[in-house]
Amino acid sequence: MQKEYLKLGFDPIAAGNYMLVVFHLVPGEGRDLLDAASEVAAESSTGSNLTIGTATEFSKSMDALVYKIDEAKNLVWIAYPVDIFDRGGNVQNILTYIVGNVFGMADVKAIKALDCWFPPEMLKNYDGPYTTIGDMKKYLGIDGDARPVLGTIIKPKIGLKTDEFADVCYRFWKGGGDFVKFDEPQADQVFCPFEDAVKAIAKKMEQVRKETGKNKVMSFNISAADFMTMQKRAEIVMKYMEKGSYAFLVDGLTAGWTAVQTARRMWPDVFLHFHRAGHGAMTREENPIGYTVEVLTKFGRLAGASGMHTGTAGIGKMAGDGDTDVRAAHLALDKVASGPFFEQDWGDMKPMCPIASGGLNPVLLKPFADVIGTVDFITTMGGGVHSHPSGTEKGAMALVQACEAWKQKIDMNEYAKTHAELGQAVEFYKEHVEYTKKYAGK
């Protein structure tokens, strides 16, 4: 037991200048909850497994403090002095403390960060989003239109050659879709070199803009092996594409938080799209070690992503609990929003928009839009558009029609009777997607 790190009853919010974390914690062999909690507080702040002789009065003032526990639920509340964090607004540094070594400690059998809270004075030191979905909607000319941004992901996930890739983008935009994204592994592959893809997409975007009179957006994955290459790819996009017509996608967990913040700081006026591939290892309900979707989403906003995948509220293909995803979406968007334990006031930090993706199709737009409680999100349907029986363009039209029906509060099945592409989608997805059945009937 490291008593130095225990201060039950202490009020860190009144004291000010503490970031708070609630952990679910199962002690290791021979440890009780308070004991294990003190070890976690030590390891995730100033200490080690032994009381060190080199500690000073000042260093002890930087100790993380266990200020509350709930034995029955295996919960511990730990307060972190904000001065221990890198003062360069560095998200990676915070995570290295609170979800770093503690995951590997023998003193704990399970540990999961369930929620966190940032004090107002701390928020000022982090970038937060600069470009928002509001800017994107303005560019798309839909800022007055109470609806989400309608998007797709190029599928197959990988393997299309340059012109094939650009053609799928064109067909989705021609069908009325707003937004296309690279799939998360699409980068600079031999069969679809990055610069060639950008040039081909730029041409197709120009063509569809002439044909439809509408602006469109493309989210290019600039994740790369190093920042110099990330920068090169970003510069290629900026060379060929009109400002506003592109977003930068970063695979935030596999490329890393520094990649996310580098993109945010180098190109603040470009929509920064945080794809969270790999998050399941930390966030899945059944994982005893990790952090929640809410915690991940809070750090995405702190780091300055303009939009982040936050799940489909249990309506799509990915595992995930509906309430969690809805909470995460509002933690991303709202000025004040509740996580599982804390209410976070983001002050004047701009909103980050939820990006809903994963097994969605036009039939699922309404149930998702109804449950998420905002129109400020981007929906990206990959399989749910490119598997439409009449192809991508009709798949996009079905998505647009599903959105029109939803906006006008017309029953989708009614609307489908006079909108063939949606009609086909309803029939097809009801047949081929198990979880769509229960929505197709309504």
Footprint of ligand CAP on this chain (CB under 6 A)? 153, 155, 157, 183-184, 276, 309, 311, 317-318, 357-360, 381-384
Tell me the DSSP string of 248-307.
EEEETTTT-HHHHHHHHHH-TTSEEEEE-TTTHHHH-TT-SEEE-HHHHHHHHHHHT-SE
Shortest reach from residue 312's CB to ligand CAP, in Å: 7
Whether 271 and 136 have beta carbons less than 8 Å apart is answered as yes
Minimum Å distance from CB 184 to ligand CAP? 5
**Cβ 255 to ligand CAP shortest distance, Å:** 14
Q: Which does 309 bind (CB under 5 to 8 A by kind): ligand CAP, Mg ion, none?
A: ligand CAP
CB of 356 to ligand CAP, least distance (A): 7
140: partner contacted, choices ligand CAP, Mg ion, none (Cβ within 5-8 A by kind): none
Count CB atoms within 10 A of the CB of residue 11. Answer: 12
CA distances from 305 to 95, 151, 228, 262, 320 (A): 16, 18, 20, 11, 21
Select the binding partner of residue 311 from ligand CAP, Mg ion, none (C-beta < 5 to 8 A, by kind).
ligand CAP
CB of 288 to ligand CAP, least distance (A): 21
Kindly name the residue from 275, 279, 386, 419 that is annotated as catalytic.
275
- Residue 318 interacts, among ligand CAP, Mg ion, none and using kind-specific CB cut-offs from 5 to 8 Å, with ligand CAP
275 included as an active-site residue: yes
Q: Which does 282 bind (CB under 5 to 8 A by kind): Mg ion, ligand CAP, none?
A: none
Range list of H helices, 267-409: 280-283, 293-303, 322-333, 362-372, 383-386, 392-407
Question: Least distance (Å) from ligand CAP to the CB of residue 357?
Answer: 4
- In this complex, which beta carbon is closest to Mg ion, that of residue 183 or of residue 393? 183
Which of Mg ion, ligand CAP, none interacts with 394 (beta carbon under 5 to 8 A by kind)?
none
Question: Is the separation of the CB atoms in 306 and 289 below 8 Å?
Answer: no
**Nearer Cβ to Mg ion, position 251 or 393?**
251
Q: For residues 118 and 429, which CB has a smaller minimum distance to ligand CAP in the complex? A: 429
- Number of Cβ within 10 Å of residue 71's Cβ equals 10
366 burial type by CB count under 10 A (0-12 exposed, 13-18 middle, 19+ buried) = buried
Tokens of 173: 């935009």
Residue 284 touches which of Mg ion, ligand CAP, none (Cβ within 5-8 Å per kind): none
Cα separation, 339 vs 385, whole angstroms:
33
Q: How far is CA 98 from the centre of its chain?
A: 19
Hey, which residues between 208 and 247 contact Mg ion (CB under 5 A)?
none
Q: Give me the 170-209 binding string for Mg ion, x by CB under 5 A, dash otherwise.
A: -------------xx-------------------------
> Who contacts 209 (Cβ-Cβ below 8 Å, separation ≥6)?
215, 216
> Quick one: 66 or 282, whose CB is closer to ligand CAP?
282
Task: Check if 155 is active-site.
Answer: yes
> What is the size of the binding site for Mg ion (CB under 5 A)?
2
In terms of CB distance, is 179 or 346 closer to Mg ion? 179
User: Is 204 or 276 the residue whose CB approaches ligand CAP more closely?
Assistant: 276
Distances (CA, A) of 280 to 20, 308, 319, 321, 368: 23, 14, 8, 12, 21
Choose among ligand CAP, Mg ion, none what residue 115 binds, the Cβ cut-off being 5 to 8 Å by kind: none
**Shortest CB 17 distance to Mg ion, Å:** 40
Q: Calculate the alpha carbon distances from 58 to 46, 55, 63, 81, 94 in Å.
A: 11, 8, 9, 12, 20
Distance from chain centroid for Cα 124: 21
Torsion 76-351-305-86 (CA) sign: negative
- Please tell me which residue in 7, 155, 309, 394 is annotated as part of the active site: 155
In the sheet with 65-70, reading across from the earlier edge strand, the strands are: 65-70, 75-81, 18-27, 108-117, 289-291
Our CB check for ligand CAP shows the closer of 27 and 384 to be 384
Q: Considering the complex, what minimum distance in angstroms separates the CB of residue 153 from Mg ion?
A: 5
Q: Which is nearer to ligand CAP, 129 or 382 (CB)?
A: 382
Footprint of Mg ion (CB under 5 A): 183-184
Which positions are annotated as active-site residues? 155, 275
